[in-house]
Amino acid sequence: MSTQAQANPSGADLAISDEVMIGLTGVNKWYGQFHVLKDIDLTVLKGERIVICGPSGSGKSTLIRCINRLEEHQRGRIVVDGIELTHDLKNIEKVRREVGMVFQHFNLFPHLTVLDNLTLAPIWVKKVPKKEAEEVAMHYLKRVKIPEQAGKFPGQLSGGQQQRVAIARSLCMSPKVMLFDEPTSALDPEMIKEVLDVMIELARSGMTMICVTHEMGFARTVANRVIFMDKGEIIEQNEPEEFFNNPKSDRTKLFLSQILHH
C-alpha cells in the first residue's frame, strides 16, 4: 500500500520514467463486420496520465477495455508491464491484477457492504487475511474521504460516493495502472467535482492512468498527453496545451468546437 506523497504541488512537473508500462502495436478489433479499432499503436510510460477523448462510437472505451481483456483484440499485440495478453488465462489474470478499472456505472456489488466490496478481491485474489484487507480498505476509504460509509450498502450512497468507493476498490488491489471509462458521465454535475478531486489526487501520487473522459478541465490539469480518437483510429495526440490551443486535424477542431462551446 502506498503512503507516499500526499500532495505534490502540481501535475505538470510530475516525473515520468522512461519505463514502458503498456505497449499496443497494430491492434485491430472487429464487432462482426464493424471495424472498431484500426491499427492502434500506443505506448504508455510508467507514471503517464493520458486522457482519451472522441465522439461516441469512436472506439475509445473498447480500446481501454482491451487493455485488461474485458474485450478481446483480434490482431496486433498488447503488452502490459511485460506480460502479453494472449489466450493464456494465466496471463490475463496476471494483467488484471495489475490493472485497476473504474466504470461509468460504478458496478459496485450491491449485495456487499462498502467494506466488503473493497476486501473481496484482496481476500480471494491476493490471499490477504481479512483483518489486514480491512485495514487497507479503510486506508483507501479515508483517501477518497468516505471512511464513515464503510458499513453501508452501495444503494445507500450517492452516485459520487459510489464512484469514489469504486476507485478505492480498485486501489485496494494496488494496481500499477488505473483505467477510467467515462467515470463522471453518469453523475450529477455537483458530484463530478468530488470524483475528479480524487482522480487528481491519484494522478499526483504518481499513478499511471488512462482516462476516457470529456472533462477537459481535468485533462488540462493532470494529463500529460491527450489522445483524440475517431472511427477506431488515433487521429491526434499531444500535450494538453498544444492539443487544445492548436489542434492539427480538422476532425479534432470540429470535435473540440462542439464540446467546448456549450
Partner 1 sequence: MALAKGAPESGAVANPATPQVIAFWRDERKRGMIAQVVVVAALLGFIWFLLRNFLIKQEMSGAPPLSLYFLQDVAGFQLSFSLIPLTLDSPIGRVIFAGALNTLIAAFFAGIIATFLGLLVGIARLSKNWLISHIAATYIEIIRNIPLLLQLVFWYGGVLTALPKPKDSISLLDVVFLNIKGLFLPKPILQEGVGLFFIAIAVAIGLAIFIARWARKRQMATGQQFPTIIVNTALIILLPAFVFVLLHDPIGWEFPEKGAFNFKGGLTVQPEMTALIVGIGISTAAYVAEIVRAGIISVSHGQSEASHALGLKSSWTLRLVVLPQALRVIIPPMISQYLNVVKNSTLAGFIGYADLFAVIGTSQNQTGRAVECVVILMVFYLTISLIISTIMNVYNKRAALIER
User: Interface with partner 1 includes 173 (CB under 8 A)?
Assistant: yes
C-alpha cell at 26: 497494430
d(CA 201, CA 199): 5
User: Interface with partner 1 includes 248 (CB under 8 A)?
Assistant: no
d(CA 142, CA 150): 10
Figure out which of the listed residues 124, 142, 254, 259 binds partner 1, where binding follows CB under 8 A.
124
User: Interface with partner 1 includes 153 (CB under 8 A)?
Assistant: yes
User: Interface with partner 1 includes 128 (CB under 8 A)?
Assistant: yes
Cβ atoms 52, 24 nearer than 8 A: no
User: Interface with partner 1 includes 100 (CB under 8 A)?
Assistant: yes
Which CB, 73 or 169, lies closer to partner 1?
Answer: 169
Phi/psi at 101 (5° precision): -140, 140
Which CB, 9 or 110, lies closer to partner 1?
Answer: 110
User: Interface with partner 1 includes 256 (CB under 8 A)?
Assistant: no
Figure out which of the listed residues 156, 246, 249, 258 binds partner 1, where binding follows CB under 8 A.
156
d(CA 41, CA 27): 7
Alpha helices in the chain (DSSP H): 60-67, 89-98, 114-124, 130-143, 159-171, 189-204, 216-222, 240-245, 250-260
Q: Segment near partner 1 (CB under 8 A), from 28-36, 50-58, 80-88, 128-136? A: 128-136
d(CA 169, CA 143): 12
Q: Segment near partner 1 (CB under 8 A), from 165-173, 189-197, 225-233, 247-255? A: 165-173
User: Interface with partner 1 includes 110 (CB under 8 A)?
Assistant: yes
Cβ atoms 187, 219 nearer than 8 A: no
Total residues at the site for partner 1 (CB under 8 A)?
36
Q: Using CB under 8 A as the criterion, which residues of the chain lie in contact with partner 1 when the complex forms?
A: 68, 70, 89, 93, 96-97, 99-101, 103, 105, 107-112, 120-121, 123-132, 153, 155-156, 166, 169-170, 173
